[in-house]
Structure 1
């Protein structure tokens, strides 16, 4: 029995996820689309469990697992095999550790693999191609647990219940109580676990903390059912109104879209209520669709809506790796369009042809009927070829990306330099006071006068600077470099103030920060400008990201920095954001941000810094 208007729920969840991935800086909370899917899955699975028990007085666990296997696994294998050959279009870094990614995806452990490796949608320049399968892992864990719960409950109730008419209410009560307890426990775990976190991936990915939408949906499935609704639910449906149900569906949809704009992945509020509100709105939408189904017996769903609902799972599987690849080959809107079209075509192939044929059922394509006997040879040949390509890519894949290797090596050299600098500081601290005492002079003050500032250049940067640190240090005269990955403006401020406090901050201060710009970029930048001590000259290097749009924080930071020299004469702009955009060749095969290891990029970066330093010689100090 197909419930009309449930298609709208599934399409809503898919649209939220796609908008989030394609336009992440505008639709910052679209990740709640996953929670819509979770709640719907929990509802549908549990309602079908109730119906099966009401019809047969039993629940067959192996049949349940077999149905889940044929629905989930074949499209997942197909997505992996078809995506891997496309990785030849992009740099080798995109398949770093791809074997472990594939194993985690096919083993339904991606969520814990991402937790263990520090993976996050939010902070990777080259994200894992199959990071999105974390949701499949959580879903599969739910199916395994909830299937065992239903099976155990069915057996226990059959054994203890003598009157058949009492069995179904008791089975319902058993599932309902457990669903409420598990939903409450999971949300409580997320609420408590989110405390004190700056990266929320741990509570977002975990099956323990992020399974409550399934159980909220399960509770609704227990209460409503499909063929065996509760008397109370029958009464509500009998007195329901299609206009009221339609209004509730619309309002819940508007609420979900609004959350898509308001919520953010890195906000505590998201995990202490935001995801729960999204789940409850999804539940309201499901409930409304269930009523609307009964109230519109003569109204058919639009065919394209049911089509999108049918292929939504496979589109989810295909879209992310395709988008990661295409977004590094073309403009974002082009990548989004191509990803959407290709994902739908591949998903239709999977859902309407390959999945039924693999399950031993005939596939109906327009007026033709296809079966395994007809498609056996091409499926086996193409499948073996794709397996061979995948095996080759896995075997040839690097364990560390070139970016990771470059940053790791640069970090080692920086640590060595810091040890040497600390040694020199300690030596100076013991000799200078003695020399002053011999001459009968007091020890120098903690902060030198503007004319006594250390000569040279202090460069404070992020991972882009760290990647070119060795070359930069050799080609920017008398420079000291402190760079670190994922460094934001507030962290750069702390480094600057620490050097300033210890009289290590040199006359020229170059701040190469911005790729990781947060929402408070303007406040943090002005704090750095205002708290820089007198006597210094400040050079701000604008950030560059080939993927960044006009609404990205990094782009806005660059725009802000370009306005500052008009007000603050001691500030000079090193316009990396402008110059780098004119030289796409230095980012060929990279993530569009880092160029470490490409000599032309090192040369250009150092040139921009040196040109800004030359210009700063003709400006006044603060």
Structure 2
């Protein structure tokens, strides 16, 4: 039994997710589309469980697992095989560690793989091609456990009673458990998010992010599909298509609004935002179910049904295709090519390959296709793609060029720190010969102290050779408050040099202005400060990094000892140094090293004309 208007719920979830991935800086909260999918899956699976028990007074666990397997696994395998040949179009760095990514995707453990490797959709380096399969992992975990629990509840219900009473026990059992599990899961997310700066662990975890399934499951128990519950019958008697349609529309508008306003790195997202999105998805589902019964003479448009049919496979294809195409063409064209190709490949998968794999006939434009007709081309192409997968995995690097560069730079930096500490200790105990014994030299150490983040770390070796008399301290994910601690540590140990270059800001937090002013205020007299504006090719004007750059450009007018090295402006004029990168780091691209050092040296020349603090 196909319920009309459920397609709109699926399409809503798909559009939210696609818009988030395609236009992440504008549609910052579109990730809630996954919660729409989760809620709908929980509803549909649980409602079908109730229908099966009502029909046969039983729930067949292995048959349930079989249906889920054929719906989830074949499209996933096909997607992986089809996508990997396209990786030859982009930098080899994009297949870094691809074997583990493939294993995690096909093993339905991507969510925990991403937690372990520190990955996310907002990855700071090379995005994982299959990071989006984290949601399939949670979904599969839900199916396995919920199916087993439903089977146990069915057995207990059969033991307690028979006929309609057994169905009542089954409904009540599932209803209570969905409520308890939803509350527990959300409670774990609410408490677990407290104090986190990176929310990926609570977002990706099956334990903390399974509550949408159980909210949907509760709605499935209450409404059902063929077998309707008392609450659903009461709602049907006290509503009409206009009210129901309005409720569905308002929920959709609110979800889209949340897609524009919510942010992945905001605490309120995990302490209420995702739950509210789940509730809105539940309202859409319930209204769609009501609208089906209240519009018997209206047919769902065919294009809506088609998009709903292919929505799962479109979700599978769109992310890796977009990652690939967005690095070889402008964004609008990448979005267009990704969307069209995803739909075409998904239609081929859903209407032809999946039925054949499941042992059924495929119907394409009125023509029936069987396994015997497609056996040779399907097996032949499948073997070629499988061989290519082995080759790609075998030849994939374990570390990207940037990661290698950061790793090596980090080792050399640690060596330099040991030497610097050694020199500082000697300087602190040795008397200054010019001033006489017992007097410590308080003059500022000549030269340049560069304090930076991962961008600076990636070019550290080149900087050290091309910025005269410089000492570099750089680290990935460094924010302004952490840069302040490094500066103050060097200041206390008298190793902070006269020219202080702060290359921080790509990872700017909400308190960027407060931290920047604190750094300026606590810099000891006798120094000159150079602030290097951050650059991120994806950043909009409302990003913290962009607002920090605006703040920094205005500081020399107020503080004469400050000079701005406008990397944000200069880098934007040279997009070629970011080809094949994340738009922030250029590690491994020599032209980027040259330009970065040039911007710092020009600022140092300008700073010679300014007074010290």
- Within 1, Cα distance between the matches of 2:235 and 2:421? 75
Contact kept, 8 Å, 1:328 with 1:592, in 2: the verdict is no
| Gapped regions of structure 2 (runs ≥ 5) | none
Preserved CA contact (<8 Å) 1:81 1:390 = yes
Cross-structure match for 2:209: 210
Q: Secondary structure at the match of 1:20?
A: helix
Output aligned runs, 1:179-578, within 5 Å: 179-432=178-431, 439=437, 448=442, 452-578=443-569
Check whether the contact 1:246–1:292 (CA below 8 A) recurs between aligned residues. yes
Shift of 1:523: 4.1
For residue 407 of structure 1, report the CA deviation from its aligned partner: 0.4
CA deviation profile, 1:59-84 (whole Å, cap 9, x unmatched): 11111111111111111011111111
| Cα displacement string for residues 308-366 of structure 1 (whole angstroms, at most 9, x for unaligned residues) | 11111111111111111122222222222222221111111111111112212222222
- Structure 2 residue matching 1:538: 3-state secondary structure: strand
C-alpha distance in structure 1 between counterparts of 2:393 and 2:437, whole Å? 70
Distance 1:193 1:527 in 2: 31
C-alpha separation between the residues in 2 aligned to 1:562 and 1:268? 30
Deviation at 1:401, TM superposition (A): 1.1
| Structure 1 residue 20 displacement after superposition | 1.4
Q: Tell me, yes or no, if the aligned pair for 1:76 and 1:317 is still in contact at 8 Å.
A: yes
Decide whether the 8 Å contact of 2:454 with 2:478 is kept in 1. yes
CA apart distance, 1:95: 0.5
Q: Deviations over 1:37-59 (max 9, x none)?
A: 11110000000000011011111
| Aligned partners of 1:332 and 1:547 also within 8 Å | no
Q: CA 1:39–1:296 in 2, change beyond 3 Å: closer, same or farther?
A: same
Larger displacement relative to structure 2 (177-186 or 299-308): 299-308
Q: CA distance change for structure 1 residues 123 and 517 in 2, over 3 Å: closer, same or farther?
A: farther
CA contact (8 A) 1:110 1:137 kept: yes
TM-score, normalised via structure 1 length: 0.94
Give 1:577 shift.
Answer: 2.9
Residue 471 (structure 1) shift: 1.6
Equivalent residue, structure 1, for 2:588: 597
Alignment of 1:126-145 (within 5 A): 126-145=126-145
Q: CA deviation at 1:427?
A: 1.7
What is the deviation of 1:389?
A: 1.1
Larger displacement relative to structure 2 (2-11 or 303-312)? 303-312
Q: 184-193 or 118-127, which moves further after superposition?
A: 118-127
Preserved CA contact (<8 Å) 2:458 2:587: yes
Q: 1:244-286 CA distances to partner (integer Å, 9 max, x unpaired)?
A: 1111111211221222223222222221211111111111111
Residues 125-164 of structure 1: pairs in structure 2 closer than 5 A: 125-161=125-161, 163-164=162-163
Mean Cα displacement is larger for which, 142-151 or 263-272?
263-272
Structure 1 residue 599: Cα displacement? 2.9
Q: Secondary structure at the match of 2:586?
A: coil
Partner SS, residue 288 of structure 1: helix
Match of 2:44 in 1: 44
- 1:249 and 1:284 in contact (8 A); partners too: yes
**Counterpart Cα distance in 2 of 1:414 and 1:614:** 25
| Aligned 8 A contact 1:25 1:551 in 2 | no
Could you tell me how far apart the structure 2 residues matched to 1:145 and 1:467 are? Answer: 45
Contact 1:75 1:355 in 2 (8 A): yes
Kept after mapping to 2: 8 A contact 1:96/1:401: yes
Q: Contact conserved, 2:245 with 2:287, CA < 8 A, in 1?
A: yes
Aligned to 2:600: 609
Tell me, yes or no, if the aligned pair for 2:27 and 2:259 is still in contact at 8 Å: yes
Does the aligned pair in 2 maintain the 1:544–1:576 contact within 8 Å? yes
Between the aligned partners of 2:438 and 2:590, the Cα distance in structure 1 is 53
SS in 1 for 2:497: coil
Q: Distance in 1 between matches of 2:71 and 2:173?
A: 27
Distance in 2 separating the partners of 1:605 and 1:461: 12
- In 2 relative to 1, CA 585–440 (structure 1 residues): closer, same or farther, beyond 3 Å? closer
Cα deviation, 1:508-559, whole Å, max 9, x if unaligned, reads 1112122223344344334433443333222222333344455544344334
TM-aligned CA distance change 1:526 to 1:306, over 3 Å: farther
Over 3 Å counting, the alpha-carbon distance change for 1:478 and 1:250 in structure 2 is: same
Tell me, in whole angstroms, the C-alpha distance in 1 between the residues paired with 2:333 and 2:507.
Answer: 24
Q: Deviations over 1:412-440 (max 9, x none)?
A: 1111111111111222222249997x756
Report the CA distance shift for 1:479/1:300 in structure 2 as closer, same or farther (over 3 A).
same
What's the CA shift for 1:208?
1.0
Count the aligned residue pairs: 613
In structure 2, the partner of 1:3 is 3
Q: Could you tell me which residue of structure 1 aligns to residue 72 of structure 2? A: 72
Cα-to-partner distance string for 1:132-151 (whole Å, 9 max, x where unaligned): 10100000010001111111
CA distance in 1, matches of 2:53, 2:438: 96
Are the structure 2 counterparts of residues 262 and 455 from structure 1 closer, same or farther at C-alpha, using a change threshold of 3 Å?
A: same
Deviations 1:138-191 (A, max 9, x none): 000100011111112222222331x41211101111111111111111112212
SS at match of 1:511: strand
